Amino acid sequence: DQQVKQNSPSLSVQEGRISILNCDYTNSMFDYFLWYKKYPAEGPTFLISISSIKDKNEDGRFTVFLNKSAKHLSLHIVPSQPGDSAVYFCAASGGNEKLTFGTGTRLTIIP
Amino acid sequence: KAGVTQTPRYLIKTRGQQVTLSCSPISGHRSVSWYQQTPGQGLQFLFEYFSETQRNKGNFPGRFSGRQFSNSRSEMNVSTLELGDSALYLCASSSLLGQAITDTQYFGPGTRLTVL
């Protein structure tokens, strides 16, 4: 039972445009959400997070939006750069739930 | 500060064998978690250790086990390997001073295990 879902396994975006990665969750106990970025042959690195008391968190080119009623979050990258090409994992935690990851979305930025 | 290190980076085993993977967390971090990454399955949580005690466990068979030492280093063992165990095994550490699981996890590069 996948509690955190990333329904798009891959996404291609032109350099300079906006990349939008989506994530849905089913467990209403989740109250903290994170995005990780993973390059090949490296472990995931923390990118940005958001607590359920907020609906938006911004860090430079990266913004995460949380819609609690829809149990949906998204990561916006503006403008997209070639170095953003990687696999992005959404993760959630809360209550007694361990950190639960989605299956990842491979983002490719086209120069 | 040195990052999370995992050894070995690559490993090839045959079915039925057993394997031990090692993880050294960031200095001062007391929590170590292990994940299995396979294509299409994302990162599946295996277990978490804190101060030498297993605090959380994922839905993996008993063939998967782990331990943590007093210096916070951790090992993961898989016995009676199966073809489906081929995966990237990732270790992550966090400071986790309290019970909050909002502490950021820092991942190692992983050990790529191939079972033939």
Bridge-partner residues for A108, per DSSP?
Answer: A12
Q: Which residues of A touch B44 (CB under 8 A)?
A: 101
Q: For testing the chain A interface, which of B9, B101, B104 should be mutated: the one with the most A CBs within 10 Å? A: B101
Q: Give the closest residue to B21 by CA, choosing from B81, B98, B90.
A: B90
What is the distance between the alpha carbons of residues B16 and A13, in angstroms, rounded to a whole number? 44
A50, closest residue in chain B (CA to CA): B102
Handedness of CA B79, B40, B9, B113 (dihedral sign): positive
Question: Rounded to a whole number, what is the distance in Å from the CA of B90 to chain A's nearest CA?
Answer: 7
pLDDT top residue among B4 and B55: B4
* Per-residue pLDDT at B84: 94
**The amino acid at B50:** F
Q: Which residues contact B79 (CB under 8 A, 6 or more apart)?
A: B18, B63, B65
CA B96 to chain centre: 17
**Phi–psi pair at B27, nearest 5 degrees:** -55, 130
CB contact under 8 A, B42 and A103: yes
Handedness of CA B64, B112, A41, A22 (dihedral sign): negative
In eight-state DSSP terms, residue B84 is: G
Question: Rounded to a whole number, what is the distance in Å from the CA of B86 to chain A's nearest CA?
Answer: 15
B29-59, pLDDT tens digit by residue?
Answer: 889 999 999 877 788 999 999 989 998 888 8
What is the distance between the alpha carbons of residues A29 and B96, in angstroms, rounded to a whole number? 20
- Give me the residue from A4, A44, A93 closest to B101, CB to CB: A93
Name the pLDDT band for B102 (thresholds 50, 70, 90).
Answer: low
CB contact under 8 A, A32 and B45: no
A104, closest residue in chain B (CA to CA): B42
Q: Are B94 and B29 in contact (CB under 8 A)?
A: yes
The pLDDT of A62-77, averaged and rounded, is 97
Question: Rounded to a whole number, what is the distance in Å from the CA of B74 to chain A's nearest CA?
Answer: 17
